[in-house]
């Protein structure tokens, strides 16, 4: 059987572009089989794929070709492929998912490019939304801000330092002034950090801390401004584990899908290693069935936040619960869809486009 015939048998032709993407996949594999990208992809497949799907070399080769094909055809990462079980889905079903690379089209339609800049610098975000933060924040840009740091240290012991352009918890550091015998070392650390925001640490409520006390466990509420008002879409919680102080899914946090009507964890939580949990692996706290405290207040706050910059129509709001109520952690103008689709493995692409008033009749 020729290579072309083999490719034709591997992929279903519900769309003429399907065959073209398959050809590109095979060519890419052949050209880059010894390159770091393919080696990294192999590592992801071994880590994420159910063992029974790759227990022979023939099965493994088929899965890898399909993963590469899915990059071309759907913009799907290896994580997308296995988290959504693309290996068991048709071409049409795969098209209904937001993926790592196709999601940017949606942002370009719904979010004003200039207004998005408000969310792409953490201190600019703070200045716009400061009344919702419930904590002290200042910008640290260099030696001229050492006096601000010393003044801040008189009021707060525990604090976070976040690069102004960071996301997914990358580069975030947590410090206590009392851990430094002198401020010389901390000053050097701060000067090496570059432009950052310094934030008073959030003290979360006991209910949220009971899940995993070392991390501030946050609620993500996705909002979409439509002609019919603000829509609240697929909220979820993120909870840290292994004593990590951040809860981001990309840093090992556990994703807990929340029913938008009840505030209850209604689907099996999991992480980006595709492990699933009924109880927290460290604390033993019950995750399935957990009801988010003061959930209605959180949803009301998210809707209010969405109205502040309505030209950025789609935003993922990270909220934390304190004894005084919900506070804003940050807003994400390019909020990822992984956590929205991870729980039920149902694509949300068509629904979002429809709500936004954008014609995508070929999507479910």
What burial letters (b/e) apply to 186-201, b meaning 16+ CB within 10 Å? beeebeebeebbbbbb
Q: What pLDDT, on the 0 to 100 scale, is given for residue 296?
A: 98
Q: Where are the beta strands (DSSP E) in 227-269?
A: 229-239, 254-257
Of 118, 122, 116, nearest to 141 by C-alpha is: 122
Which tokens in the block code for residue 295?
Answer: 């959930």
Q: Which is it for the CA torsion 164, 170, 171, 175, positive or negative? A: positive
Q: What is the spatial distance between Cα 8 and Cα 17, in angstroms, rounded to a whole number?
A: 12
Can you give the length of the chain in residues?
364
Q: Where are the beta strands (DSSP E) in 240-287?
A: 254-257
* Residue 250 CB neighbours (<10 A): 16
Which tokens in the block code for residue 26?
Answer: 């095979």
Percentages of the chain per state (helix, strand, coil), in multiples of 5: 40, 20, 40
**pLDDT < 50 stretches in the chain:** 1-14, 16-17
What burial letters (b/e) apply to 272-300, b meaning 16+ CB within 10 Å? beeeebeebebbeeebeebebeebeebbe
Q: What is the spatial distance between Cα 263 and Cα 247, in angstroms, rounded to a whole number?
A: 19
Q: Which is it for the CA torsion 208, 211, 214, 218, positive or negative? A: negative
Q: What pLDDT, on the 0 to 100 scale, is given for residue 248?
A: 67
Give the dihedral of Cα atoms 169, 300, 338, 334; nearest 10 deg.
Answer: -60
Q: What pLDDT, on the 0 to 100 scale, is given for residue 30?
A: 65
Who's near 37: CB < 8 A, 6+ residues apart?
A: none
Q: Where are the beta strands (DSSP E) in 45-164?
A: 137-140, 158-163
Pairing of strands 325-332, 218-226: unpaired
Helix (H) or strand (E) holding 218: strand 218-226
Burial of 29 (0-12, 13-18, 19+ CB in 10 A): middle
pTM, 2 dp: 0.88
DSSP per position, 278-301: SB-TTT--B-TTPBPTTHHHHHHH
Which tokens in the block code for residue 290?
Answer: 């957990």
Q: What pLDDT, on the 0 to 100 scale, is given for residue 134?
A: 95
For 248-288, the pLDDT digits (tens) are: 666 678 999 999 999 999 999 999 999 999 999 999 999 99
* Residue 142 CB neighbours (<10 A): 11
């Amino acid at each position: 059987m020729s290579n072309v015939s083999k490719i034709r048998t591997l992929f279903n032709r519900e769309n003429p572009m399907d065959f073209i993407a398959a050809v590109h996949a095979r060519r890419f594999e052949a050209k880059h089989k010894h390159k770091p990208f393919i080696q990294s992809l192999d590592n992801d497949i071994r880590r994420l794929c159910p063992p029974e799907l790759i227990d022979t070399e023939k099965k493994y080769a088929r899965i890898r070709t399909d993963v590469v094909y899915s990059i071309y055809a759907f913009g799907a990462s290896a994580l997308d492929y296995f988290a959504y079980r693309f290996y068991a889905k048709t071409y049409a079903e795969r098209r209904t998912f937001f993926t790592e690379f196709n999601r940017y089209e949606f942002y370009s339609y719904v979010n004003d490019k200039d207004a998005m800049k408000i969310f792409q610098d953490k201190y600019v975000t703070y200045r716009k939304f400061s009344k919702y933060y419930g904590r002290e924040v200042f910008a640290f840009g260099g030696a001229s801000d050492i006096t601000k740091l010393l003044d801040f240290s008189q009021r707060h012991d525990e604090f976070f330092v976040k690069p102004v352009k960071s996301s997914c918890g990358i580069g975030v550091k947590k410090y206590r002034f009392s851990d430094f015998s002198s401020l010389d070392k901390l000053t050097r650390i701060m000067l090496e950090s570059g432009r950052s925001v310094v934030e008073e640490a959030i003290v979360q409520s006991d209910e949220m801390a009971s899940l995993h006390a070392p991390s501030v466990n946050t609620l993500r509420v996705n909002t979409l401004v439509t002609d019919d008002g603000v829509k609240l879409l697929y909220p979820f919680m993120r909870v840290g584990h292994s004593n990590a102080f951040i809860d981001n899914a990309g840093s090992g946090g556990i994703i807990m899908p929340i029913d938008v009507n009840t505030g209850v964890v209604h689907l099996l939580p999991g992480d980006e290693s595709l492990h699933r949990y009924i109880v927290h692996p460290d604390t033993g706290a019950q995750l399935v069935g957990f009801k988010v405290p003061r959930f209605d207040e959180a949803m009301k706050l998210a809707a209010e936040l969405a109205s502040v910059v309505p030209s950025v129509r789609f935003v993922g709001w990270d909220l934390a619960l304190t004894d005084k109520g919900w506070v804003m952690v940050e807003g994400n103008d390019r909020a990822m869809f992984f956590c929205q689709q991870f729980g039920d493995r149902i694509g949300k692409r068509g629904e979002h486009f429809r709500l936004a008033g954008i014609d995508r009749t070929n999507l479910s």
